[in-house]
Structure 1
Amino acid sequence: MFEIIPPDARNARNGIELKETQNMPKTKINDPSIYQKIPKILRSKKVLLALAIVIIFAFIGTRGGADMGKIKTAQVEQKNIASEIVTAGKISSQSESTIHPAVNGKVVWVPVKEGDFVKKGQAIASLDKEKYEIALRQTEQDVVALDAELEKLYDGRRNKTSIESYDEKIERTALEAAKNKAYDEWLEAKRNLKDTVITSPFAGTVIEVNVHPGEEIFYTTAIAKIADIENLNFTAELDDTDVGQIKEGQKTIVTLDAFPDEEILSQVESVSFVSNVTSSGSDVFEVKFNLEQEEDYRIGMNGESRIIIQEKEDVLAVSVEAIFDENFVHVKTNGEFVKREVEKGIESDSEVEIVSGLSKDETVVIAGLEEIGKKTHFFKILSIFVK
């Protein structure tokens, strides 16, 4: 609820407040007693100006130096180190084939499914044979008819004692050529009929089936894919700049994306002699690594291979981030950072061997190199006048 205050009461209240305010003691800003408390030396305008300049100069002069929080260090360690080439790849079979039909036709039979084991020569699909059987009968009849004509020609000339005339030779060779052509067509029709049954080229496992009964297929149709899943490779591609360092038998560590914590010991099995051109136009060479079959491995699994080019044991090593200007490091000595030249050895992705220039347990800078040597604004200004 609101309280309604009569005008007289309001004025009375204000009057009380005004009286209280008027009765409060007044403080003078320019009271001489306060001024007298300030030391005499600080009352000078020149001194105050000089003091302000000093404060400003100190503030600005101390800015711009090294940010020590960004500088990270690490000790020189003695460890094993390996120079590696890392490349991506995937599991493939040592024997793998995509099956295409040799003839066109309608699929009438597919007796296999994915995961089935097939023997060499086992049927995996069959096409409608009718038109190929008709073609075989027709070509066979053509061969018989032409053979009969040739026999008739030969019989008519057996008792002749004269030399075969030019016209007779033309007639005979024409019939012989026609018979040979008909015979070749019969052989082709016979082969086409046989090719209506598609078979596996080797013993292996069906890993893909791409057709079904009733489909019309052509020479380009991939009917199925057969692979030997008992003998697997890890296959990768290397740039032509790296392939010169690769040799058969080199130790390799393979890691699969499906099993990131498992390192598979392998070795280079083969390097292709002919390059392939990638979609980006780069030349790459296919490298295969042997891979012992495990129950969980599947063709097409992705991963990476680390090919060991060179490895050394018990050598001094530092992080590659410690190296700058090709062969220099910053060593922390007595709280200061000293630039030092080193001789490098082999190098991995993360570490580099130090042949000379450092000792074990010395401390080197691995981050914040750009902060070392930074001067404050004071020293920058000073260096202008002092050279």
Structure 2
Amino acid sequence: MHLAWQLPRKKWLVTGTILLLILGLVSYKVWSGQSNKSVIIVKTAQVKKQDLEANIYTTGTLQPAQQKEYYAKAATTVKEILKEPGTKVTQGEPIVILDDSQALLDLGQAESTLALQESEYRKGLSNKLFLEKKLEDAQKNLQRQEQLYELGAVALKEIEGYRLEVASLENQLAAIDLKALEAQVNKAKLALQGAREVATSTVITSPFDGTVLKIGVKENQPVTPGMFIASIGDVHTLEVNCSVNEYDALKLKIGQKAQISSEGLREKKFSGEITQVAPQAEVEQTTTGSENRVKVKLTLTEKVEELKPGYSVNVKILTDKKADALIVPIEALLQRDGKDVVFVYQDGLAVLREVKKGLSTELYQEITEGLAQGELVIITSQEKLKDNTRVKTNDKNK
């Protein structure tokens, strides 16, 4: 009986021990889970040194740095097209000839009108000089007669004739308006200048060595004033027309270097520099709405056969650079109480630390004071953190 009682007792002891172990394990897991819930999971990045560049990115369109467009100055007809688009031309070489018959008639008429107006002016000037001399003599005669009248040598009615002569000459002089005649001459000169320009424009020639970019008319086609005729450009010297936002524009200056690339030539990069920054911003419509943009012009500093006028290009403008800069990811930087700060990962804690900034880019921030190379900064969940908050990370940086 005694042995029979001892065997169940041992069994109960073993069972109890196992139950206590299971209970302890469950309690530990519960406690561990609750403890882990109070620890914030974060990601970190290592503070490192590398060369840093600040760039402005935009897109633009290529066009010849030297380009000339021609438009019809008067109604006429296209007589002959001598060059096709893509043809290379030299300075002074004819490209398009317009009918000049009406232009020559208008030129002849303008020359005749000017000659007539100049003749009228010379005649008016001559008459004025003649009448001024005659009036001077008449006034002297009147003065002598008035003196004789005071002496009683002549009658009053004899003086009246001299007075009438003086008045008549004064009226004739007043009728000669040399300023009006001169204005007519100047008007005729301008008309003649315009007629000569129209006559000259009937033969369109290249103003420089270049390439015919476009011909906008056909032979025998009537044209009206302002109609596009042709364009010529130097396709070997290209420039980029682009724009940047008003904030980036503050970082630009003439002579800054740029890198230019094309989607069609992804393996190649071309060099350029800023040659013009517009003095004012203009409102442009972008994919995000209206935006103030500043127009910028860059010139390629090398001759490029692969790029053509009209191509869309990507532009990267270098605004600043720093060798061996101490950097962190831009998302590591925070503003707390008006100060620039980061959270540094130290032994499971997020330690708040004030820093001083240097050069900034889209991805990285240079730190000039407050951090050392190799330290770990927290880049996620900072809004949940305070100084010395418990954190956990599974990053390989740890």
**Does structure 2 retain, via aligned residues, the 8 Å contact 1:108–1:213?**
yes
Q: Which residue of 2 aligns with 1:302?
A: 312
Equivalents in 2 of 1:276, 1:371: separation in Å?
A: 42
Task: Please name the residue that 1:194 is paired with.
Answer: 200
CA distance in 1, matches of 2:54, 2:315: 13
Aligned residue for 2:48?
77
Q: Which residue of 2 aligns with 1:330?
A: 343
Aligned residue type for 1:209 = I
Contact persistence 2:277–2:297 (CA under 8 A) = yes
1:208 shift after superposition: 1.9
Alignment partner for residue 259 of structure 2, among 253, 258, 262?
253
Deviation at 1:242, TM superposition (A): 3.2
Mapping for residues 108-147 of structure 1, pairs under 5 Å = 108-138=79-109
Matched, 1:219 2:225: yes
Aligned partners of 1:113, 1:322: CA distance in 2, in Å? Answer: 60
2:276 to 254, 270, 290: 270
| Equivalent residue, structure 1, for 2:248 | 242
Query: Is 229-238 or 187-196 further displaced after alignment?
Result: 187-196
Query: What whole-Å deviation, never above 9, does each CA across 1:182-224 have from its counterpart, x for those lacking one?
Result: 7765664444333222233333212222221233323322222
TM-score by length of 1: 0.66
Counterpart amino acid of residue 75 in structure 1: Q
Q: State the alpha-carbon separation in 1 of the partners of residues 31 and 383 from structure 2.
A: 24
- For the residue of structure 1 that corresponds to 2:228, the secondary structure is coil
Counterpart of 1:217 in structure 2: which amino acid?
Answer: V
* Alpha-carbon distance change, 142 to 308 in structure 1, aligned in 2, over 3 angstroms: closer
Q: Give 1:351 shift.
A: 0.8
- The question of whether the paired residues in 1 share the 8 Å contact of 2:274 and 2:296 is answered with no
Q: CA deviation at 1:142?
A: 6.2
Query: Which amino acid in 1 is paired with 2:88?
Result: F
Counterpart residue number, 2:355: 342
Code of the aligned partner of 1:130: S
1:369 paired residue among 376, 382, 392: 382
CA distance in 1, matches of 2:270, 2:193: 52
Instruction: In structure 2, list runs of 5 or more residues that go unmatched.
Output: 1-11, 17-26, 126-130, 136-168, 392-398
Which TM-score applies when normalising by structure 2?
0.65
Residue deviations 1:71-129, cap 9 Å, x none? 33221111111233333323232212222122222222222221112223332222222
Residues 53 and 322, structure 2, Cα contact 8 Å, conserved in 1: yes
CA distance in 2, matches of 1:179, 1:330: 83
Matched, 1:205 2:211: yes
Q: 2:67 aligns with which of 87, 96, 106?
A: 96
Q: Does residue 291 in structure 1 map to residue 301 in structure 2?
A: yes
CA contact (8 A) 1:257 1:301 kept: no
Q: CA deviation at 1:352?
A: 1.0
The verdict on how the C-alpha distance between 1:148 and 1:323 changes in structure 2, with shifts beyond 3 A counting, is closer
Pairs aligned (count): 330
The percent identity for this pair of structures is 25
Q: How far is 1:320 from its partner?
A: 0.6
Aligned to 1:107: 78
Runs of 4+ in 1 over 6 A off after TM superposition: 57-60, 141-154, 171-184, 373-376
Q: Is 1:360 the counterpart of 2:360 in the alignment?
A: no
1:262-287 deviation digits (Å, cap 9, x = unpaired)? 33343333334455453536251424
Deviates more, 1:189-198 or 1:223-232: 189-198
Taking structure 1 as reference, are residues 368 and 218 closer, same or farther at Cα in structure 2, changes over 3 Å only? farther
Equivalent AA in structure 2 for residue 264 of structure 1: F
Unaligned runs of 5+ in 1: 1-36, 42-53, 155-159, 377-387
Aligned pairs for 1:32-51 (under 5 A) are: none
